Each structure stands twice: as C-alpha cells, then as structure tokens.
Amino acid sequence: MNSFSIADCTTVDAALSQLKDGAVVKAGGVDLLDRMKDGIEQPTRLVNIRNVAELRRIHETDQGLTLGPLTTLAEISDHANIREHYQILADACGHAATPHIRNMATVGGNLLQRVQCWYYRSADFQCIRHGKDLCFAFEGLNQYHAIMEYGTCPSVAPSSAAVALLGLGATVELTSAKRGKRTLGIRELYIVPDANPTKFTVIEPDELITAILVPKPAPGTRSAYQKYGEKESFDWAIADAGVVLEMEGDICKRAVITMGAASPVVRRSAQAEAALAGNPINEETARAAGKVAVEGATPLSMNAYKLDLFPVAVYRTVLLAAGKMNRDPSAAG
C-alpha cells in the first residue's frame, strides 16, 4: 500500500473543500481499503467523512425517506418503518456481507463499491477497467460474470442496495462546492462499461453523495429482495432479484423487477414486469416472470447455470413479495 495523507472532516462543506488534486472519499472504507491493499488504487490523500454527522440519518416524511449516505446497512435493515414499508431495502441491506461488516459498511459505500471481478481486483492482470485493451474474463474464469447487456466488460453489478433502490424508484443527491446540488436516478448513476470502461459512476471528482431519496410506496405495495451465493451469506450474489408489487386486491397493478448480478449495471426487466401487471400473483404468473427475465441472455463459457438460477430467483422473490412463499432457505443470508 502506498503512503497517503488523510483529511478528517466533520461537515459537508469541509469535505467538499478537500475534494481536489485526486483526493478520494473514505467513509466506512470497506471496499476502498481492499482496493488499496490490492494495489489497484493508490490515492495520495483520503478525505475521511466518517464523522460528518449530517450524512448519517434516516428521515421520514409524508413523501418518503431521506437516507444519509453514511447510514450503515445494519441501521437500515433494523429500522422498523423500513422493514414495514420498504421491505426490499431492509432485505437487501440485511443480507449483505456479514453482521460486523454491515455495522461498518454504509449505504453510500455499497452503492459505489467496485466490481468483484478477480481480473480487475488484481494489479497483476491486464484489465480494460484499468485502461488496458484486454479482458481476460471472456476466455478465462467467468463463472460469476454477466449473462446480459455486456459488451466491453462482463463484470457484474455488486451492489445489493442498488437493486433495492432501483426497484423503489430512488434518487441520489450529489453536491459540489462549485455547482451545487443535482439528483439522479439509481440507473443514471452508473456508467455502462461500453461507454467508459474506466469510470464506474457519473460522480465528478469534486462531488459527494449527500442524500438518497426514496419515494413513499403507493398504497398496497409489497416488496422483497433475495440473493443467491455460492457458499455462505457473506458471498456477493451470483444471482439476486428485487421485486416491488403494487397490488389491488389479488391483482398486480404494477410490478418492478430488478436484477443485479446478471449484468454490469443494475437492470430492470420490462418483460418480467409485463408478465405480472394486470394479473394475479400465483405460481403460474411468477414462473412466467422468471422465465422471461432472462430472455436474450448470452452466457459465457462457465456461467450458463445463471440461465436456470435467475428465473428461480425472480419466481421465488415474486411470491415472497406477494406473501405467498416464505423466504427461500437456499437464498444467502
């Protein structure tokens, strides 16, 4: 690990004033310190925002939730109102990593963590994400990689919180000392590798996430998230699904189906949503949604199993959200 200086900040203005000359923001530091130890990132200065109290909050209004980016995954998962009205978010945060990491890791950091591709994570490999012209994953070990919407890079979106927040229609507030505030949808936050493989988000070097805004769900809304890992709950997902259902009696008025580990950026499945909208939620419609969720998928040499796993993840999470199935005991977490 390289030598670096650190600037401890206690206010947003102080933190923004330090975001210059290649400085990197540190919150919980879970992913950042891993990247530094792996030798793939070597910042000369860290801006520590861990003690900026105004960025750690859960504020409820009639319009929805305002989450500070420093709110921990454990705080979100354990919050009674989030568990009651935003179950998908509580599920996603409560089943990420291990309990001790959830007590340290922040929701902002979860949104901004980098891909877990082992070729990207090693300084010893050429990687298109590092500005090289080669991706070993296409011909190498790719069992955890994308099956959809990849071109330049088949690494998958690692953020469980993003899967949930995309389902809830959340937006992210970004603040710059020079340009003020702007808000973006969760999907717009991320840059697809084909557009710019070396940049993961649209956040500028002088910007900071200052709030995550979650609109209040419509009456009759039910939701859930489940992830599937190879071993234990601390694994990153090899398949995960988020489901939001707006119900009117037994009929689904509107559905949102989100997937994370299928593609480089979190995605919605319009086909799966259409299979549910206007229909009752039952075994037949849930299985139909799962089946069409992977239409057009193109697996790599070692991950065709995801063509079977994602339909199951979507099907079971639809039924879980509708209250017609208990949490899958084979899901991670």
Encoding tokens for residue 270? 């319009």
CATH of domain 55-112+156-215: 3.30.465.10
**What is the model's pLDDT at position 2?**
79
pLDDT (tens digit per residue) in 76-115: 999 999 999 999 999 999 998 888 999 999 999 999 999 9
Residue of 53, 60, 43 whose CA lies nearest to 14: 53
* Cβ neighbour number for residue 329 with a 10 Å cutoff: 5
pLDDT (tens digit per residue) in 201-210: 999 999 999 9
Give the residue carrying structure tokens 């861990």. Answer: 50
Encoding tokens for residue 233? 């709950």
CATH 3.30.390.50 for domain 221-321: yes
**What is the model's pLDDT at position 165?**
98
Q: Is the dihedral of CA 214, 218, 60, 322 positive or negative?
A: negative
Residue of 273, 275, 284 whose CA lies nearest to 319: 284
**What is the model's pLDDT at position 330?**
80
Inter-residue contact 240 to 266 (CB < 8 Å):
no
Name residue 290's beta-bridge partners. Answer: none
Rounded to two decimals, the pTM is: 0.96
Give the residue extent of every domain in the chain: 55-112+156-215, 221-321
Strand, helix or coil at 208?
strand
Q: What residue type is 276 in one-letter code?
A: L
**What is the model's pLDDT at position 333?**
56
**What is the model's pLDDT at position 230?**
83
**What is the model's pLDDT at position 85?**
97
CA 110 to centroid of chain Cα atoms: 6
Inter-residue contact 249 to 272 (CB < 8 Å):
no
Q: List the chain residues with pLDDT less than 50.
A: none
Name residue 256's beta-bridge partners. Answer: 244
**What is the model's pLDDT at position 123?**
87
**What is the model's pLDDT at position 328?**
87
